[in-house]
Structure 1
Amino acid sequence: MALTEEIVLTKSKASNLSRVKSLNCWGLNVSDITILQKTPNIEVLNLSVNRIDTLKDLANCKMLRELYVRKNLLVDLKELEHLSHLPNLRVLWLQGNTCYQNSTDRDRVLQILPNLKKLDNTAVVHGKSIEEFDGKETEQKGTKTRQGNVLKCVFLLLDELDDEELALVEKRIKEKSSCSSSSA
Structure 2
Amino acid sequence: MATDLHQILSDALTRPGGASSDFDLNPDIVLPEGRTLKPAAVLIGVRAETQSVILTKRSSRLKHHPGQIAFPGGKQDETDSNLAETALREAKEEIGLPRENATVLGQMDAHETVTGFQVSPILAVIEGSFDIKPEQGEVEEVFEVPFSFLTDPKNFRVESRRWQGRRRHFYVAPFGPYYIWGATARMLRGLAERISS
User: Which has the larger share of strand?
Assistant: 2
TM norm structure 2 = 0.21
User: Which has the larger share of helix?
Assistant: 1
TM norm structure 1 = 0.22
Q: Which structure carries more relative contact order (alpha carbon 8 Å, separation 6+)?
A: 2
Of the two, which has the highest radius of gyration? 1
